[in-house]
Structure 1
Amino acid sequence: MNKEKLSQLRERGYDFDIANILERGFRMFLAQPLLSFSYTLLIISLQLLFALYLREVTFLYALLLAPPLFSGFYFVANKISMGQPVVYPDFFKGFSVAWAVISIWLIGQILTALGFFAFIIPGIYLAVAYSFSVLMAIFGGFDFWTALEESRKLITVRWWKFFAFSLILVVINLIGLLPLGFLLPVTIPVTFYATYILFEDLTRDVFAE
C-alpha cells in the first residue's frame, strides 16, 4: 500500500453509505454462514474457557490469542470479496501476522486507555480512529506504528461518520447478546466483514497497484 496514495485519498476526501456497508457485510456472512458461525463459536468458547477456568492467565488470551483470532475474519472477507473459495483454516491466517496484529492491539489499547484516563474525548477519538489499523498492517504491509497512524489519519477525515458506524456495530453486537448471546456468532462476523468492506471500498484505488 502506497502512503502517497493514502495521502491523496485523504486530500480528495470520501464518503460512504453506512446502511449499504452493513447490508453487504451481512451478505458476506451469508456467503460462508456455517464456517463464519462455527469459527465465532470457537472464539466465544475459548473466551468462556479462560474466563471460567483460567482466570489467572486470561490476559494471555486477550494479548496473544484474541488479536490474531479476530483478524482471521479479515482474511476470509478478502477471499470472499475476490470470489475465491474459503476453507476453515483461512480463519486462522491471522496467526501468520501475529506479531504485527498483537503489537497493534497492545499499543492501540494502551494509547486509547491513556486517552480515556487523561480526558475521555481523546480516548473515544483514538478508539474510532484505529479501526483500520489491523487492516492497514495485513493488506498494506505496514509496521504496527505506521498502521496505527495511517488508520488514524484516514479515519479522521470523516471521524464523525466513522463514530456513528462504530456505534452501530456496538449496538448490533449488544443485540447479539440477547437472548443469552445466541446471535453473537452472526453479529460478530458481520461487524468484521462490514469493517473490511468499508476499508476495501475506501482504499480500492490504493490497492490497484
Structure 2
Amino acid sequence: MKDLSIDLVELFKFSTKQYGKYTSFIIGAMLTFLVLGVIPRIHFMLRAPQQPTTESQFISLIITLAQVFLSLGFIKIMLQLAQDKYVEVVDMFNNFRTFLSYFVASFLYGIAVILGLFLLVVPGIYIYVRFQFYPYIIIEEEVSAFTALKKSFFLSQSLTLELFLLQLVVITLNLLGILLFGVGIVITYPLTTMATAIAYKSITQDSDHIPSTAYKV
C-alpha cells in the first residue's frame, strides 16, 4: 500500500459541510441514538444494584445490545451522508444482517484494546488505530467480524501515525462536546464519525491523498 498523508483540516471541513447540508436529519439521528441507546445505559449504571442480580444482568444485556445495534445504524447513516447517498430513518434500524458481525467485532476490538492498554498502553493504542475501520467494512461488504478486522488492519498499513493523529482529534473533539454540558456531542460525534468514514473511503478508493478529491470542499 502506498504511503498517504491525512489533511485533517480538509477532512473536517468536508465533514462540517456535510453536517450543514443534512443538519436536521443528523440531529434527529443523533438524538435517537442518545435517547434509545446512550441515556438508558447511563440511567441503568446510576441505579444498578451494588450486588448484580439475574434481573439486572439481563436488563444490562438488553441495553447493551440496543446500544450496539443503534451505534451500527448511526455509523451507517454517517457513512451514507458522507457520500451524499439517500438515507431514511429506517436505515438506523434495518441492520439485522450485519449486526452479529458488528457485535462480535466490537467485542473482540474492545477486549483487545483494553488488554493492550494494560500492556504498557502503547499496544492498546496501536490496536485501537489499526482496527478502527471494521464498522465501515462490515456495513459496506457484509463480511464476518474476523474478515472486517483483518481488512481494517491491512487498510491502515503504513498509516498508523496519521490515523493516530486523526483519532487524537476525534477523541479531543468528543470530550469537548461532552464537557459542553453534553450538548456539544450532538455536533462533535456525527462530525468525527463522518470524518473517519471519509478517511476510510479515501483509502479504499486508492487515493493519493486523504481526503480524496471527491471529499474536498
How far the C-alpha of 1:52 sits from its partner, in A, is 1.7
Which shifted more, 47-56 or 29-38?
47-56
82 and 171 in structure 1: CA distance in 2 versus 1, 3 angstrom threshold: closer
Q: Secondary structure at the match of 1:83?
A: coil
Q: Note the 1:21-170 alignment, pairs <5 A.
A: 21-46=11-36, 47-53=38-44, 55=48, 56=56, 57-62=59-64, 64-170=65-171
Q: Which amino acid aligns with 1:13?
A: D
Change in CA separation of 1:187 and 1:94 when aligned onto 2, cut-off 3 Å? farther
RMSD over equivalenced CA pairs, Å: 2.1
Report deviation, 1:113: 1.5
Deviation at 1:59, TM superposition (A): 4.9
1:60 Cα deviation (Å)? 4.1
Deviations 1:117-142 (A, max 9, x none): 23321111111111101112221333
Q: What is the match of residue 14 of structure 1?
A: 4
Q: Cα distance, 1:147 vs. partner?
A: 1.0
| Identical counterparts, % of pairs | 22
Task: Give how far 1:81 is off.
Answer: 4.2
Equivalent residue number for residue 187 of structure 2: 186
User: Where do 5+ consecutive residues of structure 1 fail to align?
Assistant: 1-9
CA deviation profile, 1:39-91 (whole Å, cap 9, x unmatched): 212222232223224643335433x2223312223322343344333222122
What residue identity is the alignment partner of 2:152?
Answer: S
In structure 1, distance between residues paired with 2:16 and 2:60: 31
Distance 2:82 2:153 in 1: 24
* Aligned equivalents of 2:108, 2:70: Cα separation in 1: 18
Pairwise CA distance, 1:161: 1.0
Larger Cα Rg: Structure 1 or Structure 2? 2
Is the CA contact 2:72–2:99 (under 8 Å) kept in the aligned structure 1? no
Considering fraction of residues, name the structure with more helix.
1
The letter of the residue matching 2:109 is: G
- 8 Å CA contact 1:177–1:184 kept in 2: the answer is yes
Task: Give the 4+ runs in structure 1 shifted more than 4 A.
Answer: none
Q: Which residue of 1 aligns with 2:205?
A: 204
Q: Identify if the C-alpha distance between structure 1 residues 191 and 137 changes in structure 2 by more than 3 Å, giving closer, same or farther.
A: same
Distance 1:82 1:122, change over 3 A: closer
* TM-score normalized with structure 1 length: 0.83
Asked whether the equivalents of residues 70 and 94 of structure 1 are also in contact (C-alpha less than 8 Å), the reply is no
Contact 1:116 1:122 (8 Å CA) reproduced: yes
1:4 match: none
Q: Structure 1 residues 51 and 58, CA, compared in 2 at 3 Å: closer, same or farther?
A: farther
Paired amino acid for 1:89 = V
Task: State the secondary structure of the residue aligned to 1:177.
Answer: helix
